[in-house]
Amino acid sequence: MTPVAARRCALWAGGAVALWLLVLNFGALGAVAWRAEGFTALRGSDWAAVRFTLVQAMWSAGLSVVLAIPLARALARRQFPGRGVLITLMGAPFILPTLVAVLGLLAVFGRSGLVNQALGAAGLPGVSIYGLHGVVLAHVFYNLPLATRILLQGWGTIPAERFRLAASLGFTPWQSFRQLEWPMLRELVPGAALVIFLICLTSFAVALTLGGGPRATTVELAIYQAFRFDYDMGRAAMLALVQFGLCAGAAVLAWRVALPAGLGGGMDRPVQRFDLGRGWLDGAMIALAALFLLTPLGMIVARGVAQVPGLPVEVWQAAGRSLLVALGATAVTLVMTLVLAHAVLGLGGARGAALEALGLASLAASSLVIGTGLFVLMLPVTNPRDWALVVTMLVNAGMALPFALRLILPGLREVQTTQGRLSDALGLHGLARLRIVTLPRLRRPLGFAAGLTAALSMGDLGVIMLFAEREGATLPMQLYRLMLAYRQADAAGAAMLLLGASLALFWGFDRWGRGHAEA
C-alpha cells in the first residue's frame, strides 16, 4: 500500500468513526426529540433536579480535590515500604462498579454498618447515609483516588533541580509550596475538578440507590424516570439538552481557569525534598485516607466471599452476559480509538482538533438518552428489546472512548514523531506499520485503556435498566434486583463476584500492557 493510499484509508475510516460519534452523541438526542415531536417544558421538579445535580456535583468535585491535595502531597513527599502497593489499592475504587461501592459504603455507614454500631454502643444517635450527604460521600469515595493520581503525577513533573535551588536559597516550607507546588496545582486542579464534576453530573446508580427521594434526584435519574415511568420523551430530551449544556459550560470554564505552570524541564534526577519537617501530619493523612478507601472494600470481601459458591444460577448467567458486553465494548473502543487517533493526526490543525473534540463529546452526553435514541432509530426496523445487550455494549464503548483517546493519542503522536521518518524510509505503511511499529509501542496505554473500559463496562448500570427484560439482565442489574428484594446474602455474593470480575479484567489487560515494557 502506498503512503497516499494508507493515509486516505485512515481518513476514510476516521470519517466513519466520526459519523458514528455524531449519531451517538447528537443523532440520538435528535431522535428522542423527533419521537416526542419536539421538546417539552420542564416542571418544577425538573428544575429542582438540576439544582440538586449542580449542588452535589460541586460538593463532590470540591471535596474530592481539596482532600486529594494534602493526600497526593503526602504520598509525593514520603517514601515507605509498601507505598506502591498502597497507591495501587487506593486507586481501586475508581474502577469499582458503582453498586459494589454503594454496598461497601452501606456496610460501613448504613443503618447496621460499622459507624452506626459504634455510635449505638456509645449511646449516641445513628446517622443516615441517604440524601445529599450520602450521594456526596459516595462520589468522594469513588473520585478521591482519581484526583489523587492526577495530582500525584503533577508533583512528579516538578524538576528535582527546583527543590535543590529552593533549599540553597533558604526557602521555608511555605515559600517552597508557593513557588514550586502552587503553580502546578493551579494548572492541574481545574482539570481534575472538571473531570470529577462531569462524572458526578452524569451520575445515575449512586443517586438511584442513595438519593433518598424526590429531593435528591439528579438530572440523569430524572431522565430515567421520564423515560421509564412517565413515557415523556420530550421532557427527557429537554433534560438531556440541559445536562449537555451544563457539561459543556463546565469544560469551557475549566479551560479558561487553568494556567500553565511554567516550571520548565529538568534532568530527570530523583527528587530529594528538603522541606519535609515532621512526618506525623503526612502519615496521619495517608492513614485516614487508606482507612476511608479500603475499609468498604474489606467489608465487601468479608461479607461476600463465602456467599459466591451458593449464588443462584440466574446470577451466574447475568455475569456471563456482563462479561460478553464488557469484552465487546473493549474491542469496539480500542478499534474506534486507534482509527480516530490516526485520523486526528492525519488531519492536523483545526480539523484534527475538531475531530478530537468530537471524540471527547461523550463526556457531556447522557448514556440513557443515547441508548433510547438508538432504540428509537431501530424501532421501525426491528424489536429493540432483542438488541438490548448489543446497544448496551455500543453505548458503553462510546462512553469509554474519551478516556481511551486521552490515553492513546499522546502515545501515537510520540510514535509518529520518533518512528515516522524511519517507517516511511522502510516503506512501512497501513496495517504493516500498525502491526510492526505502532502497536508494540502503544501496548502500555492500550492495556490500561482496555482494562479501564472493561472494568467500567462490567459494572455499568445505565442503558440496560431501560430496556432489558428479566431474562436478559446483566450482573449489575441482577445485583440491584437482589438489593431491592432484601436478599442480603445473595447481594453480598453477587457484589463480590462483580468486584472480582471487574478487578480481574482491569488487572489482566493492564498487566498485558505493562508486560511488554517489563520484558
Question: Which of residues 286 and 251 earns the better pLDDT score?
Answer: 286
Range of the domain at 209: 44-220+258-303
Residue 463 pLDDT level (bands cut at 50, 70, 90):
confident
pLDDT at 333: 93
Q: What is the pLDDT of residues 432-456, one digit of tens each?
A: 677 767 777 788 888 888 988 998 8
DSSP string spanning 415-449? Answer: HHHHHHHHHHHTT--HHHHIIIIIHHHTHHHHHHH
Is 267 among the domain residues? yes
Residue 39 pLDDT level (bands cut at 50, 70, 90):
low
The average confidence (pLDDT) of the chain is 79
Instruction: Specify whether the CB–CB gap between 393 and 325 falls below 8 A.
Output: yes
For range 426-435, the mean pLDDT = 68
pLDDT for residue 263 is more than 50:
no
Structurally, the chain folds into a number of domains equal to 1
pLDDT for residue 174 is more than 90:
no
Is 192 among the domain residues? yes
Is 84 among the domain residues? yes
Contacts by 277-284 with C-beta closer than 8 Å and gap 24+?
Answer: 277/173, 279/78, 281/74, 282/73, 282/74, 282/77, 282/78, 283/74, 283/78
pLDDT at 10: 67
3-state secondary structure of 203: coil
pTM of the model: 0.77
Per mean pLDDT, which range of 137-146, 273-282, 351-360 is the poorest?
A: 273-282
pLDDT at 60: 93
Is 346 among the domain residues? no
Residue % of the chain over a pLDDT of 90 = 10
CA distances from 417 to 7, 429, 435 (A): 16, 15, 17
CA distances from 23 to 16, 18, 370 (A): 11, 9, 9
Q: What are phi and psi of 426, to 5 degrees?
A: -85, 0
Q: What is the pLDDT of residues 106-127, one digit of tens each?
A: 889 888 888 888 888 888 888 8
**Rounded-to-integer distance, Cα 220 and Cα 399, Å:** 15
Is 276 among the domain residues? yes
Q: Cβ contacts of residue 6 below 8 Å, gap of 6+?
A: 429, 430, 433
pLDDT for residue 497 is more than 90:
yes
Is 477 among the domain residues? no
Q: For the chain, give me the number of helices (H) and strands (E)?
A: 25, 0
Residue 267 pLDDT level (bands cut at 50, 70, 90):
very low
Q: Which amino acid is at 500?
A: G
pLDDT for residue 223 is more than 70:
yes
Q: Cβ contacts of residue 473 below 8 Å, gap of 6+?
A: 314, 318, 321, 464, 481
Per mean pLDDT, which range of 8-17, 233-242, 295-304, 462-471 is the poorest?
A: 462-471
Which three cell numbers mark 335? 478499534
Is 164 among the domain residues? yes
Which domain CATH number covers 98? 1.10.3720.10
Is 91 among the domain residues? yes
Q: What is the pLDDT of residues 42-84, one digit of tens each?
A: 778 888 888 998 999 999 999 999 999 888 888 877 777 877 7
Per mean pLDDT, which range of 133-147, 186-200, 490-504 is the poorest?
A: 186-200
pLDDT at 449: 87
Question: Which of residues 372 and 20 earns the better pLDDT score?
Answer: 20
For range 335-352, the mean pLDDT = 84
pLDDT for residue 94 is more than 50:
yes
